A = this chain, B = another copy of it.
């Protein structure tokens, strides 16, 4: 058997991908057998499987680059993926054994990976052909899910033909590391699980009101005074590099969010004069509001901070927040009010916020970053939003299905690209099979033209941190987020039935558990291998 991967474009060195990937997976069968394969989650665009099965022997299983492949040994992403997927496919052989394919071994069972364009199918081989190296990673994931063990521990893979590509290019998960600190290990584990569900964006809501765990080189006081603990509850530069590298190896981009001007209480601890002093009865009350938009020093600070951030986080996108700004403190402050008069804003504080956001967007644009902001910025400051930006649709629990359709319609009509987050606030829990709610979302079911629908570039599962830290993150996230993953990856018509999805998601959840992901059960039942991590 040969699995050859063809990547049309050699984008290995680009570091991050920004466009849809496609790949093609074809497995040829040498031996006949029973059909017990359980399939792939999220569902590939086309999958034709047979009951014919092929025995895989870990001792005679090889990954290798084809001779015509543009990528060869030394391609760090695929080299590492071979090692990782060998361990995932054959968990009983965890010594990390993986051999490169050699043409001399053609009588053995081979998995050949090349970047040639044409697909070649030989007896006893399978081929994987991908447009990008990131697509090859998705194909390896699908392949790994096709391999199964019988009751005696032998490994099998059924004859399968897959043609696959993602429906949406942006498939994100937001983690909130401010309301609770998440140890780096918890983030890395989440990235592992994200790759299993083919998520490709880690939206790192890294700082917020409660704490500022990002350790800035330029402004070390931000974390030394604003983190929960200056030594143990921070992300060092090395931690961030580790997260970005771990993500990149799995085809996941890291989108950092430094939310302002609201949600910045923790910033004020380490940066004097950044937040607006609130007034009461004509004198400062001692409390502070959002970032002070009336001081030139604010913009100098933000430019310096974002200059650092833009280097530390290499992704071309940056999230600027902009949500939930409370105007009461600004209103109370006589200097802010004087600034309003000077700028001709009258008493319209949305203009002040727009002015602030415009400045921040300009700062990051000058750093060659594309901005993402929460929907509030679109709602209140349309003049700030330009079609170059991608606007997050962001609703809290008050959001209804009907409501976010109206917003999608309105924002795409204005030419905005949008990422849909509203229906996937997965931190909200309820009793029973609430994954149904995440699965049955129809992101394009709003009234609009075909052009408008193309502006919906994807969706995002948000795990806000009020009630979540490393103790319960994983079981709350998985497999509930996997339901959204299928909605974002797979064809909607083929995945419209929750009852048909149920046994597939149950099976996928057991695969997660087998891989050491503490994914909670959907309903009564069991996994062949239960979670042993207690």
Contact = CB atoms under 8 A, between A and B. Distances in A.
A531 interface: yes
Interface string A498-534: 0000000000000001000011111111101011111
Contacts of A522: 467
B521 A469 contact: yes
A183 B531 CA distance: 8
B521 A471 contact: yes
B467 A180 contact: no
A50 B521 CA distance: 47
B469 A528 contact: no
Nearest to A433: B467
Contacts of A180: 521, 524-526
A393 interface: no
A186 B530 CA distance: 11
Contacts of A518: 471-472
A229 interface: yes
B233 A526 contact: yes
Interface in A415-453: 427-432
A contact patch SS: loop
A475 interface: yes
Count the copies.
2
Interface string A176-194: 0001110101100100000
Interface string A250-270: 000000000000000000000
Given A429-B430, A467-B432, A475-B471, A229 B521 contact: no
B533 A533 contact: yes
Interface string A447-475: 00000000000000000011111111011
A181 to B, nearest CB: 6
B524 A210 contact: yes
B532 A181 contact: no
A473 B431 CA distance: 14
Given A474-B534, A533-B533, 4 more contacts: A228-B525, A429-B430, A466-B523, A471-B519
Chain A to chain B: the 6 pairs with minimum beta-carbon distance, closest first:
A472-B475, A228-B526, A472-B520, A470-B531, A179-B524, A471-B531
19 contacts: A180-B521, A183-B532, A183-B534, A189-B534, A210-B524, A210-B525, A211-B526, A397-B431, A430-B430, A430-B431, A432-B467, A466-B523, A468-B521, A469-B520, A470-B530, A470-B531, A471-B518, A471-B521, A472-B475
